[in-house]
Chains A and B, each alone.
Chain A
């Protein structure tokens, strides 16, 4: 008899605490004597800084100091990641505070430290910065400065295009988006001069990357930085790089000898936090007469903003490498140029390149079906990757999947295809399908487990949650292997003083990497327990086995509680064994795993107003073995809702001078529950061979598949006419009506 917990839809253990408002976010942490920071920000998208005049502390109520880029000249700019094979202009890294120029409106120029935030904002108004405005470059194609470039050419692409029966091309673009977490960013920095120790409480996705970035910028050893990530109110990718403001207050705390807090407000978050998407491209597909895909060409331009933050090069690289999607395309020529523009930098936002790739390839495949007069599903079936592992022409290795099963399930859940109605009718209706792969997992994480009195376990995980539900998920993984109840397992996260080494929470990797580390650590604990049980029972180690009642051997049983008691006793261990509580640890590392899925959408457009209603969405996702289907389902729903926002209303709008015109939620629109249609989900579980759980990732699929599914449904409703998201009433109305207000004649639907 064994206890099965993997696959159980258990609720999160933190929910009651979260719903009662008992969480402790950074701003809830009281540090006596902490000062507060506000920032003077650039009003220009591009300008030279000619001079900065700052008030003396005596000139403003409660003012402690004003710190500019000159005072921080000893600090390094942000470290920048270099995706495999990419060229990255590391010299264009984001400085903590600039010295002689600004490159986006909203860039922090000076840190104002005062007794309260209100006083800091008052004093910030006394800082006088003289700028000489320069022209702002806003389009990545118009930029003359490349911050990142990656390209790959595999197979004889030119020959394939020359010989192809059909060549289908498309030009696509996705706007910039903001992550809009409910809790904006923030941190507290406290410096202990005697110990030369810096403690930073930070609203971040993880402790490891935040600490490594601060270590690089401040030029101090990681061992001197104690990083604590408390409860976090959402990130969606936007808290994987510490804010320049956080580095500034850390430097301020060291200089001033007082703790300094920065709690970002919504205005700062909208104009200053790195944004997502902002990519465009020309994509071409060469097809044989029967619809087989022969080769793909893609030229992508990413709007990276004024500087590189640590992860800025990652999403465009991910988009470029995933551009062939779920299709078996033998040859490809792909290039992505990440251009410097005078806007806030971009970085990962839920999907982080995956939706960008899925959007372009899936719209192009629909266009190919229309142009070749082939059924859109049949065209996909003819080109699906069916054997794994599969090496893509862009250099990725897909580990596992069953794309056709996902497609069949999505078709079944979507029901019979309803004929789209002609545009003269009272509604224009369309349906759309989209397939995707989600690069997930990869890299290493670790876990340490201790047996405690009473048969309880404490697990230190290297990975920390910001809403995902690590706690119950990891408890399920460990409890099943330890043959105990999840309630006997306590998880500890988010403190560099206790957490073992790891990377972080991003890229749909926590279950696959950190969960696998927990599994391996639990397995090692079972081995330790068996060794001790065998010793106590006078048996060979192989002669005991673990059951829910404890270790059984030769008719006797020893529970984990008894093992714990014995381990604590001076003579409880076999000869040569270390005395004290049983402990085990594990580090797990693997290559990327690839989740996949198929989403379908049915939409209506009101031809008189242009209003889009998404009537229904089907989301079939294959994240491998599901540890907790309830939380996986929640990830899909959350991702789909963010994709719907991207389809319907979301867009960071800049004017011609580079001023963000959507700097409040009055202008940057987010969906409400009233806009969310019924979402029908389905699961396919194709375990990955790359980890002991068979788990892939579920964090981003919802945000990846729903965007192109809705886009294809909208295009279907528009009779093949091309419109880019967000699908505002204004755009759709104009697409439906020519300038002369006559409804356009629809192309024949596929």
Chain B
């Protein structure tokens, strides 16, 4: 379990990192909690490893214009401990507590979790429920994608060669918002088998994002509409799970969604 040979390059600046990452054979290293095992298994064999850790400009967490701005290099532990996040976006606080164990969250980054796009990861699902916007930068400029545009498949995003996720913007959810994140995993800290993230502003907004229902985070639009139309938690949850093929997985999605909704409706 030693990686195949590679050239290690600390990123000199964001612009310098983008230049280095324009090489097809280069891979960005953030917290390393997923990439380093892949390197050690020799499943990932980049010729050049661009270490983003020196880029303190990407390590920030603040509120601007009511929106939460999470620098891509923000550690998961920082997100978990933030009083601002707990106050305005408690869904993220709850979701991130399920990511691995403390040592993993100390090193792992929010941007890394998003860019890695593991279908069993918690943060992409929570960010999907919160209508997050993902700011990408490359030598050609910047673009901003929604979750459904960014997450394309298992471990697959719309990020192109030479493009870097620099910031995640989470819009304000409004007063009176209630949120809940529930998941089913084999053991504490393990990747989730199924999960549900819900955000509810009574009469205004209902968001339900599902983990394990598809190969990417998905929104349960029919369930959201039903909920806004006055449906009970059980009915909305049934709609959320309706398209899941495997019957146990469907039961998990339906149950977790219903329990999350019951919590926010209580």
B189 within 8 A of A: yes
Q: A117-B2, A122-B4 are in contact. Are A728 and B251 (CB under 8 A)?
A: no
Q: Which residues of A contact B188 (CB under 8 A)?
A: 672, 674-675
Those of B1-45 within 8 Å (CB) of chain A: 1-5, 37, 41-42
Q: Is A154 in the interface zone, CB < 8 Å from B?
A: no
Q: Are B1 and A267 in contact (CB under 8 A)?
A: yes
Task: Answer yes or no: A1 CB below 8 A from chain B CBs.
Answer: no
A602-624 near B? 1/0 per residue, CB < 8 Å: 00000011110000000000000
Whether the Cβ atoms of B184 and A609 lie closer than 8 Å is yes
Contact of B187 among A121, A608, A664, A675 (CB under 8 A): A675
Which residues on the B side are within 8 Å of A664 (C-beta)? 37, 41
Separation in Å of the A619 CB from the closest CB of chain B? 21
Contact string against A for B residues 247-263, beta-carbon threshold 8 Å, 1 for contact and 0 otherwise: 11001100110000000
The answer to whether B2 and A608 touch across the interface, beta carbons within 8 angstroms, is: no
Is the pair A266, B1 in contact by a Cβ cutoff of 8 Å? Answer: yes
Number of B interface residues, CB 8 Å? 23
Task: With A122-B5, A609-B184, A611-B184 as known contacts, state yes or no: A672 contacts B189, CB within 8 Å.
Answer: yes
Q: Which residue of A lies closest to B190 (CB)?
A: A669
Contacts A265-B1, A266-B1; A666 near B187 (Cβ below 8 A)? no
Which residues of the partner chain A approach B187 to less than 8 Å between Cβ atoms?
648-649, 669-672, 674-675
Which of B3, B191, B193, B248 contacts A666, CB < 8 Å? B191
* Contact assessment for A609 and B2 in the assembled complex, using a CB-CB cutoff below 8 Å: no
B178-205 contact mask (Cβ, 8 Å, vs A): 1 or 0: 0000001011111101000000000000
Taken together as a complex, chains A and B put the C-alpha atoms of A415 and B227 apart, in Å, by 46
**Chain A residues in the interface with B (C-beta under 8 A):** 117-118, 121-122, 125, 265-268, 608-611, 648-649, 664, 666, 669-672, 674-675, 728-730, 733-734, 737, 741
Do B252 and A609 touch (CB < 8 A)? yes
CB-defined contacts of A649 to chain B, threshold 8 Å? 186-187
Q: Which residues of chain B are near A741, meaning CB under 8 Å?
A: 247, 251
Closest A-chain residue to B184, C-beta based? A609
* Complex: A670 Cα to B189 Cα, angstroms: 11
Contact with A along B227-265 (1 / 0, CB 8 A): 000000000000000000001100110011000000000
Name B133-164 residues within 8 Å CB distance of A: none
**Are B251 and A733 neighbours in the complex by a CB distance under 8 Å?**
yes
16 A–B contacts from the bound complex (CB under 8 Å): A117-B2, A118-B3, A121-B42, A122-B4, A125-B4, A265-B1, A608-B251, A609-B256, A648-B187, A649-B186, A669-B187, A671-B187, A672-B187, A729-B193, A733-B248, A733-B251
With A and B bound together, what is the CA distance between A518 and B251 in angstroms?
59
Q: Which 5 A-B pairs have the closest CB atoms?
A: A674-B188, A118-B2, A265-B1, A608-B255, A669-B186
Task: Provide the B99-110 mask, 1 if CB < 8 A to any CB of A, else 0.
Answer: 001000000000
What chain A residues lie within 8 Å of B190 (beta carbons)?
Answer: 669
CB closest chain-A residue, reference B259 = A608
A188 vs chain B, min Cβ distance (A): 18
A729 touches B41 (CB 8 A): no
Known pairs A666-B191, A672-B187; A609 contacts B251 (CB<8 A): yes
In the assembled complex, the Cα of A733 lies from the Cα of B247 at a distance in Å of: 10
Alpha-carbon distance A447/B8, docked complex (angstroms): 55
Q: For residue A89, give the distance in angstroms from its CB to the closest CB of chain B.
A: 34
Residue of A nearest to B189 (CB): A672
A122 and B256 alpha carbons, distance in the complex (Å):
46
Residue among B190, B251, B255, B256 with most chain A CB within 10 A: B251
Q: Which residue from chain A places its CB closest to the CB of B252 in the assembled complex? A: A609
Contact partners of A675 in chain B: CB under 8 A = 187-188
Closest to A264 in B: B1
* CA of A729 to CA of B193, assembled, Å: 10
Contact partners of A610 in chain B: CB under 8 A: 248, 251
Complex: chain A residue closest to B247, CB-CB: A741
Identity of the chain B residue whose Cβ is nearest the Cβ of A734 in the assembled complex: B248
Q: B4 to chain A: closest CB distance in Å?
A: 7
Does the CB pair A729–B248 fall under 8 Å? yes
CA distance A121 to B40 in the complex (A): 11
- Chain A residues within an 8 Å CB radius of B41: 267, 664
Find chain B residues with CB under 8 A from A671 CB: 187
Contacts of B256 in A (CB 8 A): 609
* Besides A672-B187, A737-B247, 9 other A-B contacts (C-beta < 8 A): A118-B2, A121-B2, A122-B5, A266-B1, A268-B1, A609-B255, A611-B184, A672-B188, A729-B186
- Chain B residue nearest in CB terms to A732: B248
CA distance A733 to B189 in the complex (A): 22
Q: How far is the CA of A440 from the CA of B97 in the complex (A)?
A: 44
The answer, among B1, B3, B248, for a CB contact under 8 Å with A730, is B248
Which A residues are CB-close (under 8 A) to B191? Answer: 666
Closest CB in chain B relative to A17 CB, distance in Å: 23
Q: How far is the CA of A672 from the CA of B189 in the complex (A)?
A: 8
A305 to B101, CA, bound (A): 35
A669 proximity list for chain B (CB < 8 A): 186-187, 190
* Nearest CB of B to A111, in Å: 16
A residues near B255, Cβ cutoff 8 Å = 608-609
Chain A residues within an 8 Å CB radius of B251: 608-610, 733, 737, 741
Chain B residues contacting A125 (CB-CB under 8 Å) are 4
Contacts of A611 in B (CB 8 A): 184
CA distance A648 to B184 in the complex (A): 14
Query: A22 → chain B, closest Cβ, in Å?
Result: 21
Task: Chain A residues near B101: list those with CB within 8 A.
Answer: 672
Tell me which of B2, B193, B247, B252 has the highest count of chain A C-beta atoms within 10 A of its own C-beta.
B2
CB-based nearest A residue for B120? A666
How far is it, in angstroms, between the C-alpha of A608 and the C-alpha of B189 when the chains are bound? 21
**Residues of B contacting A728 in the complex (Cβ-Cβ under 8 angstroms):** 186
Question: In the complex, what distance in Å separates the CA atom of A734 from the CA atom of B246?
Answer: 11
* Minimal beta-carbon separation of A669 from chain B (angstroms): 5
Q: Nearest CB to that of A121 among chain B residues?
A: B2
Tell me how far the C-beta of B189 lies from the nearest C-beta in chain A, rounded to whole angstroms: 6
CB distance from B187 to the nearest CB of A (A): 5
Cα(A741)–Cα(B41), bound, Å: 41
Closest Cβ of chain B to A39, distance in Å, is 12
- Least distance between B42 CB and chain A CB atoms (Å): 8
With most chain B CB atoms within 10 A of its CB, the pick from A266, A609, A728, A737 is: A609
* CB-defined contacts of A737 to chain B, threshold 8 Å: 247, 251
Chain B residues near A266: list those with CB within 8 A.
1
For residue B192, give the distance in angstroms from its CB to the closest CB of chain A: 12
Bound: A671/B256 CA distance, A: 22
What's the minimum C-beta distance from A175 to chain B, rounded to whole angstroms? 15
Q: Across the interface, which residues of B come within 8 angstroms of A733, CB to CB?
A: 248, 251
Docked Cα-Cα span, A287 to B2, in Å, equals 59
B63 to chain A, nearest CB (A): 33
* Chain A residues with CB under 8 A of B184: 609, 611, 729
* Chain B nearest Cβ from A526, distance in angstroms: 51
CB distance from B151 to the nearest CB of A (A): 20
For B2, the chain A residues whose CB sits under 8 A away are 117-118, 121
Note all chain A residues with C-beta closer than 8 A to B252: 609, 729
A190 vs chain B, min Cβ distance (A)? 23
Nearest B-chain residue to A669, judged by Cβ: B186
| Residues of A close to B1: CB separation below 8 A | 121, 265-268
Across the interface, name the chain B residue whose C-beta is closest to A675: B187
Per the bound structure, the CA–CA distance linking A737 and B189 in Å amounts to 28
Nearest-CB residue, chain B, relative to A606: B255
Residues in B with CB closer than 8 Å to A268 are 1
A602 vs B37: C-alpha distance when bound (angstroms) = 38
Which one of B5, B41, B187, B190 has the highest number of Cβ atoms from chain A below 10 Å of its Cβ?
A: B187
Distance to closest chain B CB from A609 (angstroms) = 5
In the bound assembly, the distance between CA atoms of A265 and B4 in angstroms comes to 15
A-side contacts of B37, CB under 8 Å: 664
State how many angstroms separate the Cβ of B100 from the closest Cβ of chain A.
11
* Interchain nearest-CB distance for B5 vs A (Å): 7
Q: Whole-angstrom distance between the alpha carbons of A265 and B5 in the complex?
A: 18
A669 to B193, CA, bound (A): 13
Smallest distance from the beta carbon of A62 to chain B beta carbons, Å?
Answer: 12
Docked CA distance A729–B188 (Å): 14
In the bound assembly, the distance between CA atoms of A729 and B249 in angstroms comes to 10
